[in-house]
Amino acid sequence: MGTIVDARGLSCPQPVLMTMDEIKRMSKGEIEILVDTDTSKENVSRAALSKGWTVKDVKEEGEGYRVTIVGS
């Protein structure tokens, strides 16, 4: 189980900011980010890739998505 970042309901750029903070804090491992718009899903994935992390999985969940990113 990785860390979970709940960014549902937050507007741009909060989901990315929260993801970046978590990436900085953990430096490696697995982070699950909960978002509720397609824009946030794309932005969070793009931000993770720019930090050298990989997007392991994007699952539809409830009204949004659960994005799992991995850093090694």
Closest CA to 62 of 35, 44, 41: 35
- Give yes or no for residue 63 binding another protein (CB under 8 A): yes
Return the number of the residue (1 or 27) whose C-beta is nearest another protein.
27
Q: In this structure, what DSSP letter does residue 10 have?
A: P
Closest CA to 44 of 56, 62, 61, 27: 56
- Give yes or no for residue 57 binding another protein (CB under 8 A): no
Return the number of the residue (20 or 26) whose C-beta is nearest another protein.
20
Give contact residues for another protein (rule: CB under 8 A): 8-14, 16-17, 20, 36-39, 42-43, 46-47, 50, 63
